[in-house]
Amino acid sequence: MPGLERGTAAEQRFNVNLSILFTELPLLERPAAAAAAGFTAVELWWPWVDSPTPDQSELDALKKAIEEAGVQLTGLNFYAGRLPGPDRGALSIPGEESERFRANIDVAADFARSLGCTALNALYGNRVEGVDPAEQDALALENLVLAARAADRIGAILLIETLNQPESPRYPLVSAPAGIGIVDQVNEATGLGNARFLMDLYHLSMNGEDLPRVIAAYAAKTGHVQIADNPGRGAPGTGTLPLKELLGQLRKAGYEGWVGLEYKPGDRPSAEAFDWLPAEARAAR
């Protein structure tokens, strides 16, 4: 960027993804660290990568840590397997992984509701060798319908995310049109209209998409935005993406939702990876 002007930043609402930033700290210490860095809102991948249904004591401990830090949980992933790692979701994978996703739906939704979180993200899942892609897609739609209904039950939206082909070669949603297609399918199947696109500018740029065109075409169907610079998936200003301009285009296109900071801090503590963002812009208005 290297940094956002104060006026530009004041027009955005930023939150911090505690599954990629502040990971040098134990999970329960991260909400307070985000608050100490000036943020009032956070988001999370599903924190228990080996368990879609952790003990209630673990859920309660994380809830307490978020509440005591005084930050708002604004986004939460459903169970998606090992993240970071080779997994890219579970809901389209027949057998045990799909069952684990289903077991997680109400657990994640109820945890989100307990903290006033109104966005739940469902990663689609990798293609599986020897399984017909059409079978996986049918299973995915079935599970996404269940997830959308659970989100609706708590007054939340369901987010559908695209990833990028170089880093996730077995993940089928690697373009904005592919993600929007699933959003439309889910909304048509449920009639709820609460499925939305998660526009991750890093992943879309890795796919070589025309980002201004994506924003113009799909801002109205976007429920959440995530950013990292490219190359490197670092903080804004460490790569070549014109993130300041892109965020401005999103605002002009009518997007007023959260912008999630989902980047790697590099070889420094996470608390030092926000120098591009004015301190007053880190607190949600």
- For this structure, is 161 an active site residue? yes
Distance (Å, whole) CA 65 – CA 8: 31
- Annotated active-site residue in 167, 262, 272, 280: 262
Catalytic option among 29, 161, 256, 280 = 161
Residues 274/270/104/220 CA torsion (nearest 10 deg): 10
Residue 129 bears catalytic tag: no
Alpha-carbon distance of 258 to 255, in angstroms, equals 9
CA distances from 34 to 42, 58, 70, 229 (A): 8, 20, 10, 20
Q: b/e per residue, 13-34, with b = 16+ CB within 10 A?
A: bbbbbbbbbbeebebbebbbbb
**Alpha-carbon distance 211 to 217, whole Å?**
10
- Residues 121, 78 contacting (CB under 8 angstroms): yes
User: What positions carry a catalytic annotation?
Assistant: 161, 262
